């Protein structure tokens, strides 16, 4: 087995193998297949066994995952490509007022509240931007639960007050927000009609990137907001935040709200949570604006 053959690297250790390999001499070639985004040990081994070691030599991407194939497709186009008809159809579905919306959730093996189940994703926070007309000012609303009671009743009460009866609700990866709404509707039937209507109005801003209406090699095969944002709106990023991803947000909220309520950093964690969740919806608003500019 040559040093560039990852056969012994288990699927979950491939990234660690690659990190070590990058430090060896000679270094990996710039067009090495190991630099393909989302590739794993099994896929890399299959390519090597077929005599393929460079990205340009990949002529049959069927052994690769969807995200890697998306990257190769964008790379073959040589730059950003936009299906303007498909993008126009997508944008035409968006009705003002527009609500840019994001939940943060917590889950536990042992449910901390009656009526919740193990590993249920319980919303404890939302951030909301409201734009009443195209090009109009943006109004901000938010909710962050700050005690150890079940966060859902108070969150739902505030959400129903904050969201009007008409207009599109823009999210990133709609199955997540929709599933939370469906679960909460089952637990709190007094909000079922409101949450069902909310789900009917949801539009997934991720869709033009996941369905390849817009492709760009710089997305690295991903439709994640954290990959799309720095390409389309480079002046807006996450690297200045103390909380930069959802798992940290969930862990820190649980720590200062349920586990260690006297923690000295409690107020800072709450401020960081607000900053993080707000950045998500600013990102959506900026990406929506960039799409309209295309």
What is the per-residue pLDDT across 193-202, written as a single tens digit (0 to 9) for each?
Answer: 999 999 999 9
DSSP state of 196: H
Q: How far is CA 28 from CA 10, 33, 53, 65, in A?
A: 20, 9, 10, 22
The pLDDT, as a whole number, for residue 3 is 45
Average pLDDT of the chain to the nearest whole number: 92
> 3-state DSSP call for residue 241?
coil
Which tokens belong to 78? 């040589």
Which tokens belong to 121? 């994703």
Q: Does residue 167 have a pLDDT over 80?
A: yes
The pLDDT, as a whole number, for residue 81 is 94
The pLDDT, as a whole number, for residue 173 is 96
> What are the pLDDT digits (tens) for 116-127?
999 999 999 999
Highest mean pLDDT among 6-20, 33-47, 158-172: 158-172
The pLDDT, as a whole number, for residue 14 is 80
Query: 12 pLDDT band (50/70/90 cuts)?
Result: low
Placement of tokens 């480079």 in the chain: 234
- 79-294 under CATH 3.30.420, yes or no: yes
How many Å apart are CA 27 and CA 34, to the nearest integer? 11
How many Å apart are CA 284 and CA 280, to the nearest integer? 6
For the ranges 9-13, 25-29, 139-143, 250-254, the lowest mean pLDDT is seen at 9-13
* Rounded percentage of the chain residues whose pLDDT exceeds 70: 96
Cβ(262)–Cβ(255) under 8 Å? no
CA 226, 231, 232, 237 dihedral sign is positive
Query: 244 pLDDT band (50/70/90 cuts)?
Result: confident
Q: Does residue 59 have a pLDDT over 60?
A: yes
The pLDDT, as a whole number, for residue 126 is 97
- The whole-number average pLDDT for the span 159-185 is 97
Query: 1 pLDDT band (50/70/90 cuts)?
Result: very low
Which tokens belong to 197? 């209507």
Q: What are phi and psi of 252, to 5 degrees?
A: -70, -40
Q: Does residue 11 have a pLDDT over 80?
A: no
The pLDDT, as a whole number, for residue 22 is 81
pTM, two decimals, is 0.88
* CB contact set of 188 (below 8 Å; sequence gap of 6+): 152, 153, 156
Q: Does residue 147 have a pLDDT over 90?
A: yes
Q: Pinpoint the residues of the chain covered by CATH 3.30.420.
A: 79-294
- The whole-number average pLDDT for the span 242-262 is 89
Q: Does residue 38 have a pLDDT over 70?
A: yes
């Amino acid at each position: 087995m040559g040093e560039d053959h990852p056969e012994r690297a288990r699927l979950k250790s491939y990234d660690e193998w690659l990190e070590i390999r990058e430090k060896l001499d000679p270094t990996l070639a710039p067009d090495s297949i190991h630099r393909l985004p989302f590739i794993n040990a099994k896929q890399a081994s299959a390519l090597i066994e077929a005599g393929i070691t460079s990205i340009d030599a990949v002529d049959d991407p069927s052994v690769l995952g969807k995200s890697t194939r998306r990257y190769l497709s964008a790379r073959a186009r040589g730059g950003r490509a936009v299906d303007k008809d498909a993008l126009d159809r997508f944008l035409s579905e968006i009705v003002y007022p527009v609500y840019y919306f994001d939940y943060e959730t917590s889950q536990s093996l042992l449910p901390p509240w009656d009526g919740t189940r193990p590993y249920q994703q319980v919303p404890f926070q939302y951030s909301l931007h409201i734009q009443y007309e195209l090009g109009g000012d943006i109004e901000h609303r938010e909710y962050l639960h700050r005690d150890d009671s079940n966060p859902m009743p108070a969150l739902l009460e505030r959400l129903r007050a904050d969201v009007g009866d008409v207009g599109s609700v823009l999210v990133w990866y709609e199955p997540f927000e929709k599933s939370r709404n469906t679960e909460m509707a089952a637990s709190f039937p007094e909000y079922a009609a409101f949450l069902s209507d909310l789900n009917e109005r949801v539009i997934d801003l991720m869709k033009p990137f996941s369905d390849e209406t817009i492709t760009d090699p710089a997305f690295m095969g991903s439709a994640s907001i954290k990959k799309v944002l720095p390409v389309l709106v480079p002046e807006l990023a996450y690297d200045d935040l103390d909380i930069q991803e959802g798992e940290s947000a969930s862990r820190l909220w649980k720590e200062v709200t349920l586990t260690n309520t006297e923690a000295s950093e409690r107020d800072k964690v709450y401020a960081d949570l607000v900053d993080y969740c707000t950045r998500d919806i600013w990102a959506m608003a900026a990406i929506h604006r960039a799409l309209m500019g295309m």
